[in-house]
Amino acid sequence: MNKTIISVQDLVKNYGNFEAVKGISFEVYEGEIFGLLGPNGAGKSTTLEIIETLRQKTSGKIIVDGNDLDIAPNEIKKIIGVQLQTSGFYPGLNLVQLIRLFAGLYNRQVDAMQLLDMVNLRDKAKAKVKELSGGQKQRFSIATTLINDPKIIFLDEPTTGLDPQARRNLWDLIRDIRGKGTTVIITTHYMDEAEFLCDRVAIVDSGKIVALASPDGLIDELVATGFERPKEVKQANLEDVFITLTGKSLREN
Ligand code: ADP
Ligand code: MG
């Protein structure tokens, strides 16, 4: 049986007269990677930030690991990991110092080097955030979500702007995190990413959920309607060429 860890019921968010989220409902199961997919402006970040307690909802009910957002937001904060914008990090501190700072804020003991190992940044322990490449910054920001040993982490478009190697590397990292039992909720507008990573996805468009199932299930549903993709004449695509020529190893070191 799937155990629900996040339940969102009839969530509405208005910005002034504008309805950004128009009454959406979904459940996230413990231990899965759940994707919110949708074009820009669909309401993905708004939804995520409301669950993260960072934004006020207009109406609706949200339960996270048994805690009602309206009653016990602080209990929710204790068990979630939120990705911070790396631009907000203290510029004078190196990675180890930043991890120790955050651990202090969470009142946690953390092995900083072990955490950096997990995200493949041990050799950058003494570097400042501004000295990291885009992919490294993303990995570090994911590391910071893990400091309080959360049950759930939230990743908002974690691979936007990254090169193919860094994206694939991040996908592996996100799967590793799920492998350790952490529930992951991720937003993306990359369908290859969602197909590779997500156990289930909700497709969001203009503030509404238009479909919710496993990627495989959604594809089967579409095929069952008689949809047929124009025959692929080639056995590879340009991304395959790129990865074959340049390899899968990370470049930014
Ligand atoms: P997504 O993350 O899917 O791209 P967002 O949740 O960021 O979408 O935004 C959904 C809609 O709400 C967009 O039309 C956006 O312009 C609008 N919006 C987001 N934040 C605000 C805000 N603070 N004030 C007014 N409108 C906002
Ligand atoms: Mg967004």
Question: What is the layout of strands, in order, in the sheet containing 80-82?
Answer: 80-82, 152-156, 183-188, 33-37, 200-205, 208-213
pLDDT at 87: 67
> Which residue has a Cα nearest atom 26 of ligand 1?
15
Whether the CB of 45 sits within 6 Å of ligand 1? yes
> Is a pLDDT exceeding 70 seen at residue 86?
no
Whether the CB of 13 sits within 6 Å of ligand 1? no
For the stretch 188-220, pLDDT in tens is 989 999 999 999 999 999 999 999 999 999 999
- Out of 11, 17, 46, give the residue to mutate to test ligand 1, the one with the largest number of ligand atoms within 8 Å of its CB: 46
pLDDT at 105: 86
- Pairwise CA distance, residues 223 & 203, whole Å: 17
Of ligand 1's listed atoms, the one at least distance from the Cα of 46 is: 6
pTM above 0.85, yes or no: yes
* Helical ranges in the chain per DSSP H: 44-51, 73-79, 95-106, 112-118, 134-145, 164-179, 191-197, 215-224, 238-246
Whether the CB of 42 sits within 6 Å of ligand 1? yes
- Pairwise CA distance, residues 54 & 147, whole Å: 18
pLDDT band at 231 (very low <50, low <70, confident <90, very high): confident
Residue 114 amino acid letter: Q
